[in-house]
Chain A
Amino acid sequence: MEIKTDDYSIWYEEAASTVYFRGFLRLDGMEEYQPVMDLLLSAVDKSPTLTLNLQDLEFLNSSGISMLSMFVVKVRDRGDVQLILQGSNKVLWQTKSLRNLQRLMPGLALELT
């Protein structure tokens, strides 16, 4: 499973139970994010513990933050998946906005390195 464009790539590595994000993601509204959501939902079906590695995602617009929050709530409501978000302290939006996702799912593990 992979989405690759000139601006960003998103791919799932089953062996690592990890979805990797890279680049600049600023799609026009939630509908445009549907393929990303579909990739995340099929990854979560395969991994009881799923990691989203966002460290190389340099930009995410607010629609993307909304998409991530929607995914977090879906995982929370399933109740059977451990979700880990890996971010970078060197990427400003991650230091500003990622923590808020824990408000939706207190069991969410956030690793900012």
Chain B
Amino acid sequence: MTQTISTQTFGEFAQEIPASEEYLTMNFSPSSAPRKRRWSNYGLSADFLGDYFAAFFPGDTVEDSPLNRRETVKAAVSYIANELLENAVKYSDEVAKRPISISLYLYEDKIIFQSINHTSPAIADKYCRFIQQVLTSDLDELYTQQLEQTALGSGESNMGLLTMMNDYAARFGWQFQTSDSIPDTVQVNVLVHLDI
């Protein structure tokens, strides 16, 4: 029996991530433990990734900033890794019992993050619609609009994605993939490019 795979991509998505001398992947097993108990582990993991990748950078000064390069990389990696993990966890389909993974690839002038999780078709559809809105809007305007909307307590905030893009100048690529070998489940593969 042949397997049917259907794929949709948006933004800066590359099937092949360029070879990197330094990379690290963390896999989180699907767990029956309550999310509340696991939540702080994701923060600790994000901090570890920040510390780990910052160690490759010298403590040279950054223009117009009291933070040196190492401190900047540490804080930016930890923020982005934490937001990617939080999103992967929030939107993972617990029924699918699939692991969540996050990988970081280090290059001379950038870091690529990749997070992979599985979700339901309904959540994936909603996410795709928001991505289309992001890609066709003025980011600055959308940010203010979402911030106001969130502040008024109406609807999904999506502020994680918008802060990464607007405040950290992170560039995104997304791939949504369904396969008839895992029915009613969509694999969400997110790439984040962070210039450093």
Contacts and interface: CB of A to CB of B under 8 A. Distances in A.
Partners in one complex: yes
Interface of A: 7, 24, 26, 28-30, 59, 61-63, 65-66, 69-70, 72-73, 89-93, 95-97, 100, 103-104
**B72, B75, B143, B148 — most chain A CB neighbours (10 Å):** B75
A61 B35 CA distance: 17
Given A28-B39, A63-B86, 6 more contacts: A7-B40, A59-B82, A62-B86, A69-B151, A70-B150, A73-B152
B151 A70 contact: yes
B18 interface: no
Contact of B43 (A24, A29, A92): A24
Q: Rank and list the top 5 A-B pairs by shortest CB-CB distance, nearest first.
A: A92-B75, A73-B151, A62-B160, A96-B167, A69-B151
A73 B75 CA distance: 27
Given A28-B36, A73-B148, A97-B163, A62 B157 contact: yes
Contact of A66 (B43, B86, B151): B151
Contacts of B142: none
Nearest to A58: B75
Q: How large is the interface on B (under 10, 10 to 19, 20 to 34, 35 or more residues)?
A: 20 to 34
B152 A65 contact: no
B147 A28 contact: no
Chain B contact residues: over half helix, strand or loop, or mixed? helix
Contacts of A59: 43, 78-79, 82
Contacts of A66: 147, 150-151, 157, 159
Given A7-B40, A92-B79, A103 B160 contact: no
29 contacts: A7-B40, A26-B43, A26-B82, A28-B35, A28-B39, A29-B90, A30-B153, A61-B79, A62-B86, A62-B157, A62-B160, A65-B159, A66-B147, A66-B150, A69-B151, A70-B152, A70-B153, A72-B151, A89-B65, A90-B67, A90-B71, A91-B75, A92-B75, A93-B75, A95-B67, A96-B168, A97-B167, A100-B147, A103-B144
A89 B66 contact: yes
A96 B35 CA distance: 29
A71 B107 CA distance: 40
Interface string B5-44: 0000000000000000000000000000001100110010
B82 A61 contact: yes
Nearest to B161: A62
A7 B143 CA distance: 29
A107 to B, nearest CB: 15
B134 to A, nearest CB: 15
Most chain A beta-carbon neighbours within 10 Å: one of B72, B86, B152, B159: B159
Contacts of B67: 89-90, 92, 95
